[in-house]
Amino acid sequence: MTWSAVLLVTAVVWAVSVIRSVRLRAFVYSLPLPMTLALVTTGHRVDGAQLLGVLGLNLFFVTVALTHHRLRWPILVADLAGIAAYVALSAGLLAVPVPFGPALAGTVALWLLAMVVLRRRARAVAAAPERPVDARRDSLPAPAKLAVIFAGAVLTGLLGQLLRGMVVTFPYSGVLVAVEARRQLVDFSRHFARNSLALVGFLTAYHYLQDGSPVVALAGGWAAFALLATALHLPRRRRAEPAPAGGLPDPSAGPAPVPPTRPAPDPPARPAPEGTAGAPRARPRPRPTAAERRATT
């Protein structure tokens, strides 16, 4: 692993450690920067085994999340379990030739199945009572964290060199990203699984263009990644927009605000007719005095 690869892995992990949004963390990690550097520096070709390596990336995060959150293993031990799962899958893929066409069909089918399962799970989680989110920051200062990330990048780079062609999809930065995002690892794995289809597009475009210029192959791969990533995130943005006038309300937007109402004015009081209860009575005329009676006569 070259020093440029070590610096790239360090930069990716550092960016993930700074970002607070889980969805944005998963998107930054899914950028095919380590794949691009591995293809440029090693000269390995992209075949069916490398395409199934995207499944290995998801297997890595699922293993770490399962062992850390369900089995309560320490995060470093869970990280080692994830690496062991990826290495075991890579050894099986390197032992037999994997045609690209069936590998592509199988990968897309498994991705669709995973999306159906994750959508049902998301509905079940949404119906359950909301749990408080642990938003604590790491206690390490920034220089110490950067040194740890750099040392981890060197170690994972040395391990990745043992995997031959599977070095293209080895989770260089994923080993450290799993440690950094350990408190939100389940949500991170779900978002990365969604974005992994864009990585499949990157490798597919590179596979069909790799017999020509490497620059053209990489450009085609990045174009396919950008196209699929945009298609994956557009439906979510459209659902977040408000519903048009006269349309059905968006359930994800929450209850609509109720406009303030003014109290109705009191009706004007009408005078009650004479002779009814509450009507004002006329004052009786005073009786005439004796002088007034003599004057009238």
Average pLDDT, the chain: 79
Most confident segment among 83-92, 144-153, 262-271: 83-92
- Cα 188 from Cα 61, distance rounded (Å): 9
The predicted-structure confidence for 200-225, as pLDDT tens digits, reads as follows 999 999 999 999 999 999 999 999 99
- Cα 162 from Cα 86, distance rounded (Å): 12
Terminus-to-terminus CA distance in the chain, angstroms? 138
The predicted-structure confidence for 138-169, as pLDDT tens digits, reads as follows 445 667 666 766 776 676 667 666 777 788 88
Q: Evaluate if pTM is beyond 0.85.
A: no
The predicted-structure confidence for 22-66, as pLDDT tens digits, reads as follows 899 999 999 999 899 888 888 889 999 999 999 999 999 999 999
pLDDT at site 173:
78
Size of the chain, expressed as the number of residues it contains: 297
Domain ranges for the chain: 3-128+142-238
Dig out the tokens for 103 from the structure. 């590998």
